[in-house]
């Protein structure tokens, strides 16, 4: 299988702190790929570098064969990389439906003039995109919430809304930043099934960060483990789980956290 995302020699400093150190990895197309590691090991920074929020100090990021290093975030999204956020970033005062519609129509075909004049082409576009957004909400079990103000949704549903919104941009690669954070065991189970289903149904590659071990081990096909900005293990979940360096990072030698 070819790699949809290829990162080579990527490093990033925040002032004197090296948050990400010389990363090399490939995310195979169609996989569910996991990035794990203790707090502060550079996971979210990696996502921010891939999505263009930060520019890497060194190294190269290739997506679907094209170089996206240092490109503007919205351009990277338009190429097919979508993400969710660890600390939810929803459009709170908008309806659940509109949250998804915005992502579905980040660049409306209808011009400002056509929208002002309410031309038939504008109405047709609005209708079609709305239907598509509703279908997405249906897949993420949020259809009955469509008209509610997004900020009124409970936490678990907001996490799903972020996934729906990311999918609305029609990505090839979906980055999920701690999708299971704050969920109860039942919700985590459902989410695992949902992510697997989303991967198959939307033909996306999933690249996720997670702390929840059961979640990662049960869902991911490949895992990369970080500690202090460096890769300490990479491979299939079963192999990674037995790696002594991983056990040390997580359980600690001196009885750390």
Closest contact distance (angstroms) between CB of 140 and other proteins is: 15
Closest contact distance (angstroms) between CB of 252 and other proteins is: 34
Query: Considering only residues 24, 29, 125, 221, which one is a binding residue for other proteins as defined by CB under 8 A?
Result: 125
For other proteins, give the closer residue by CB, 170 or 221: 170
Query: Considering only residues 41, 51, 69, 231, which one is a binding residue for other proteins as defined by CB under 8 A?
Result: 51
Closest contact distance (angstroms) between CB of 92 and other proteins is: 6
Query: Considering only residues 17, 39, 112, 238, which one is a binding residue for other proteins as defined by CB under 8 A?
Result: 112
Cα separation, 70 vs 124, whole angstroms: 36
Question: Taking contact as CB under 8 A, which single stretch among the options 37-45, 81-89, 182-190, 207-215 is the one that binds other proteins?
Answer: 81-89
* Residues in contact with other proteins by the rule CB under 8 A: 51, 53, 72-74, 77-78, 82-83, 85, 89-94, 98, 101-103, 105-108, 110, 112, 115-118, 122-123, 125-127, 129-130, 165-166, 168-169
């Amino acid at each position: 299988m070819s790699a949809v995302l290829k990162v080579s020699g990527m490093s990033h400093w925040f002032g004197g702190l090296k948050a990400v150190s010389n990363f090399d990895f490939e995310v195979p197309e169609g996989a569910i790929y996991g990035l794990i590691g203790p707090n502060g090991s550079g996971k979210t920074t990696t996502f921010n570098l891939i999505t263009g929020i930060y520019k890497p100090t060194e190294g190269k990021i290739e997506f679907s064969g094209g170089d996206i290093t240092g490109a503007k975030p919205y351009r990277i999204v338009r190429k097919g990389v979508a993400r969710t956020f660890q600390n939810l970033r929803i459009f709170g005062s908008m309806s659940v439906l509109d949250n998804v519609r915005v992502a579905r129509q980040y660049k409306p075909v209808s011009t400002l003039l056509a929208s002002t004049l309410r031309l038939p082409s504008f109405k047709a576009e609005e209708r079609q995109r709305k239907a598509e957004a509703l279908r997405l909400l249906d897949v993420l079990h949020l259809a009955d919430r469509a008209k509610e103000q997004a900020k009124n949704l409970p936490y678990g549903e907001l996490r799903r809304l972020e996934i729906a919104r990311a999918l609305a941009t029609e990505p090839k690669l979906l980055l999920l930043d701690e999708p299971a954070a704050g969920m109860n065991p039942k919700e985590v189970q459902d989410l695992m099934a949902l992510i697997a289903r989303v991967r198959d149904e939307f033909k996306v590659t999933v690249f996720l960060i997670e702390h929840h071990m059961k979640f990662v081990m049960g869902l991911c096909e490949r895992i990369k483990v970080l500690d202090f900005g460096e890769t300490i293990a990479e491979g299939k979940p079963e192999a990674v789980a037995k790696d002594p360096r991983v056990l040390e990072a997580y359980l600690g030698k001196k009885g750390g956290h």
